[in-house]
A and B are shown apart, each in its own frame.
Chain A
Amino acid sequence: QKEVEQNSGPLSVPEGAIASLNCTYSDRVSQSFFWYRQYSGKSPELIMSIYSNGDKEDGRFTAQLNKASQYVSLLIRDSQPSDSATYLCAVKTAEYGNKLVFGAGTILRVKS
């Protein structure tokens, strides 16, 4: 089992809809969770971090963390074509020190 798993997609949503991206991880003692956005041919950029169970909102983005179920999700409200990108889930876990373990990413396509 991979440490961090994501559905590769593509996930297609119409403009204005809510996009829901999911990620599961295997290490129960993982501490920190991140969502990076990566446009084609560009480097990843951090959009959300979450450390505690529950929801964390930042503008149109909401990160949700459930440590008991070992999943973290990202909701994008009012999706825009400019949100079309690959979304990478990353986990920092005690076993791996300060390294981030990345999932393979989910491709999101927002259709206008």
Chain B
Amino acid sequence: GAGVSQSPSNKVTEKGKDVELRCDPISGHTALYWYRQSLGQGLEFLIYFQGNSAPDKSGLPSDRFSAERTGGSVSTLTIQRTQQEDSAVYLCASSLGPAADTQYFGPGTRLTVL
């Protein structure tokens, strides 16, 4: 079946612009996660959605970052007034549910802020 999909695969933007990154999880997966991976670094947790519960936003680095998940499926990560330090690969993952340990990752969106 289809895996996690993300779009765009690459995004180049100018400092100060807003960007939207999209994630389409595996059908039937209720849990969705956003991570950020800077060059040569591990994955940094950003935000976690589970069903209709309030999201866990504890990893968002600043109020310029926000995310929503509509209809319990597709999620959008928005970064306002982008800065050069926002440049990274943004990875989305989904899992069957909160008790499911296996997270399946999408291909990521590489964001470059000039």
Contacts and interface: CB of A to CB of B under 8 A. Distances in A.
Interface residues of B, number: 23
Contacts of B107: 42-43
Contacts of B103: 46, 100
Nearest to A8: B40
A34 B48 contact: no
B41 interface: yes
Given A32-B101, A88-B43, A104-B42, 15 more contacts: A34-B101, A43-B91, A43-B107, A43-B108, A44-B91, A44-B105, A46-B104, A97-B56, A98-B48, A99-B33, A101-B45, A102-B44, A102-B45, A103-B42, A104-B41
Interface of B: 31, 33, 35, 40-45, 48, 50, 56, 59, 91, 98, 101-108
Interface residues of A, number: 22
A49 interface: yes
Interface of A is mostly: strand
B49 to A, nearest CB: 11
A98 B107 CA distance: 21
Interface in A18-55: 32, 34, 42-46, 49
